[in-house]
Amino acid sequence: MELSGGVAQASHVLEIPELGLIGFGAFGRLMARHLQPYFRLLAHDSAEAPAPAEGVTFTDLARAAACPVVVLAVPVDQLPAVIAALRPHLRPGTVVVDVGSVKVRPTEAMLAGLPPDVEIVGTHPLFGPQSARQGIAGLKLALCPIRGRSAFRIGAFLRRVLRLRVVLTTPEAHDREMAVAQGLTHLIAAVLVRMEPLPTRMTTRSFGLLMQAVGMVRHDPPGVFDAIERANPYAAEVRARFLDLTAEMGRALAHPAEG
């Protein structure tokens, strides 16, 4: 399977490789838009009639799973069921890639449920439809090699062709950092949304940036928030520390030290 040099010169290649895309929600559509110049995309979604998309052929699960690369773009809590359904249709040597917001639990599910003769790569694009509206070049993607060597070819394709900034990591290191970088962002955003209406006339630059960050995540499906806050094994500890420090600061402001 060739994912770098040959795909990068797709206009000179007669045979474009097939890629099976399982799940065609908002992020599946974003992926398809950027991958369709380089792959024949065969998508399967549980929705009865997904809206048409350029360069995408909708098919059944078995046909999508027969592709040499299969990308799982489904909510984290649905992964075990999807993996079980995929397993009988995967061919030896297939590369299975997930794009979940957390990595430890998806990795465990893939190692437990996928056949031993398929390769496994964990990824987390550190962007979504909102933050990628102006394109994906220069945005970050976390890459976790799990089983096999294909992760390095995929990383080369992502860097050289899609111009992403690839961060090589492990599932554990990823989730530890994301518990802070992503967990706190979504937690604060959820609180601010519940405090609406918020000021719009007299605001500071820093408040505007904060609301811009809220806008990037406020329309995420509920499953994204649940995955970030509940499926990350390190999120509860970070959240508890943040809330304890917030309460401590509240007490200090309510009862300033005698001076």
Which pair of structure tokens corresponds to residue 192?
A: 């601010």
Burial readout 142-177 (b: 16 or more C-beta within 10 A, e: otherwise): bbbbbbbebbebbbbbbeebbebebbebbbeebbbe
pLDDT confidence band for 225 (50 / 70 / 90): very high
The residue behind tokens 């995540």 is 217
* pLDDT score recorded for residue 19: 98
Q: Name the 3-class secondary structure at 148.
A: coil
More confident residue, 219 or 145: 145
Domain assignment present for residue 124? The answer is yes
17/135 same-domain check: yes
pLDDT of 2 > 60? The answer is no
| Boundary residue ending a domain (169, 185, 201) | 169
pLDDT confidence band for 48 (50 / 70 / 90): low
Domain assignment present for residue 111? The answer is yes
152/216 same-domain check: no
| Boundary residue ending a domain (169, 197, 213) | 169
Average pLDDT, the chain: 92
Among 14-18, 119-123, 136-140, 252-256, the least confident range: 14-18
Domain assignment present for residue 198? The answer is yes
39/67 same-domain check: yes
The 10s digit of each residue's pLDDT in 105-144 is: 999 999 999 999 999 999 999 999 989 999 999 999 999 9
Domain assignment present for residue 258? The answer is no
126/213 same-domain check: no
Length of the chain equals: 259
Question: Domain range holding 87?
Answer: 5-169
- Average pLDDT (232-250) is 97
152/218 same-domain check: no
Half-sphere exposure of 241 (CA within 13 A, CB side): 8
CA of 181: how far to CAs of 185, 187, 229, in Å?
Answer: 6, 11, 12
Could you write out the three-class secondary structure of 61-122?
HHHHHCCCEEEECCCHHHHHHHHHHHHHHCCCCCEEEECCCCCHHHHHHHHHHCCCCCEEEE
Half-sphere exposure of 181 (CA within 13 A, CB side): 10
CATH, residue 43: 3.40.50.720
pLDDT confidence band for 11 (50 / 70 / 90): very low
- Average pLDDT (143-149) is 97
| Boundary residue ending a domain (169, 191, 211) | 169
For the chain, what is the domain count? 2
> Which residues neighbour 114 within 8 Å (Cβ) at sequence distance 6 or greater?
83, 86, 87, 90, 96, 120
The 10s digit of each residue's pLDDT in 155-190 is: 999 999 999 999 999 999 999 999 999 999 999 999
